[in-house]
Amino acid sequence: MLLGATRFCVEVVRSPDGQKVFSFLFKVKMLNIILCGAPGSGKGTQSQLLADKFGLQHLSTGDVLRAEIASGSKLGVHIDALISRGNLVPDDMMYGVIDNYLRTLPKDCKGIILDGYPRTVPQAESLTELLRKYNMDALMIDLMVDEQLLIQRLIERGKVSGRADDNLNTIRHRIAVYHNQTEPIANYYLHQGNYFAINGNHTVDEVFLQIERIIKLAKNQ
Ligand code: AP5
């Protein structure tokens, strides 16, 4: 079973006279987590808590896309049309975002949390390939929450969030997109022996405790 995350890094050092070049291969133990779940399942909330507690870098693909929209770029206008209707952004666009993120991680990075990526089976396949390219791996943790609770949470957030997709019609569509396009990735990770489902119906603290238990297991492996 895939339970750890190790990255191999190469450091290149020149001798003081600049004549010789030495390269060192060293292992960096990382804690990398893929946090998956339906809209409103608590991915963002739990990612922030994990980032704070374990010193991890948090990548929310939703935040990256909203930043592009806020920039007012042509691409942002295109993304806005998709997100505000509750549809996914094309896989090839997301591939570039993740590749760039992994390539530019700082050397001393303790680990990463991918919040909202992957969301389709092709994205999951691409991620496996990308993680391999950067000598990394990651635990997949899936937050399972009842549909009524998802809707309740997002309607409540919609009162203050200002998010164009936090209204009942779009929430329902986002949940349908999740069932059709994202849920199948559970099977993909199950086949890889790297799948941990969590009951996300509980309080924020209780859900966090469950995630911590999985991380402890992974660290002891
Ligand atoms: P994204 O921003 O990721 O939105 P989402 O997946 O719909 O998730 P949310 O942010 O709505 O919910 P969450 O699970 O993070 O829950 P949160 O912690 O915020 O993506 C937006 C859009 O971008 C997508 O629809 C798509 O168009 C596009 N996109 C993004 N990634 C993509 C990709 N990889 N490929 C293609 N397109 C992509 O919590 C929600 C609320 O509940 C909060 O108010 C919170 O305080 C509350 N809450 C959380 N946990 C609990 C709890 N345990 N008990 C009570 N309340 C709780």
- The three state secondary structure string of the chain is CCCCCEEEEEEEEECCCCCCEEEEEEEEECCCEEEEECCCCCHHHHHHHHHHHHCCEEEEHHHHHHHHHHCCCHHHHHHHHHHCCCCCCCHHHHHHHHHHHHHCCCCCCCCEEEECCCCCHHHHHHHHHHHHHCCCCCEEEEEECCHHHHHHHHHHHHHHHCCCCCCHHHHHHHHHHHHHHHCCHHHHHHHCCCCEEEECCCCHHHHHHHHHHHHHHHHHC
Q: How much is the mean pLDDT over the chain?
A: 91
pLDDT per residue as tens digits for the range 207-216:
999 999 999 9
pLDDT per residue as tens digits for the range 7-60:
555 566 677 777 777 666 555 679 999 999 999 999 999 999 999 999 999 999
Measured in Å, residue 123 CA sits from the centre of ligand 1 at 18
Atom of ligand 1 nearest to the CA of 119: 34
Res. 98: pLDDT tops 60: yes
Atom of ligand 1 nearest to the CA of 166: 11
pLDDT per residue as tens digits for the range 124-173:
999 999 999 999 999 999 999 999 999 999 999 999 999 999 999 999 99
Measured in Å, residue 41 CA sits from the centre of ligand 1 at 7
142 phi/psi in degrees, rounded to 5: -110, 120
Give me the pLDDT at residue 14, please: 73
Name the CATH architecture for the domain at 31-220: 3-Layer(aba) Sandwich (3.40)
Res. 184: pLDDT tops 90: yes
Pocket of ligand 1 (CB under 6 A): 37, 39-45, 60-62, 65, 82-83, 86-89, 94, 116-117, 119, 123, 153-154, 157, 165, 174, 203-204, 207
35 forms beta bridges with 115, 141
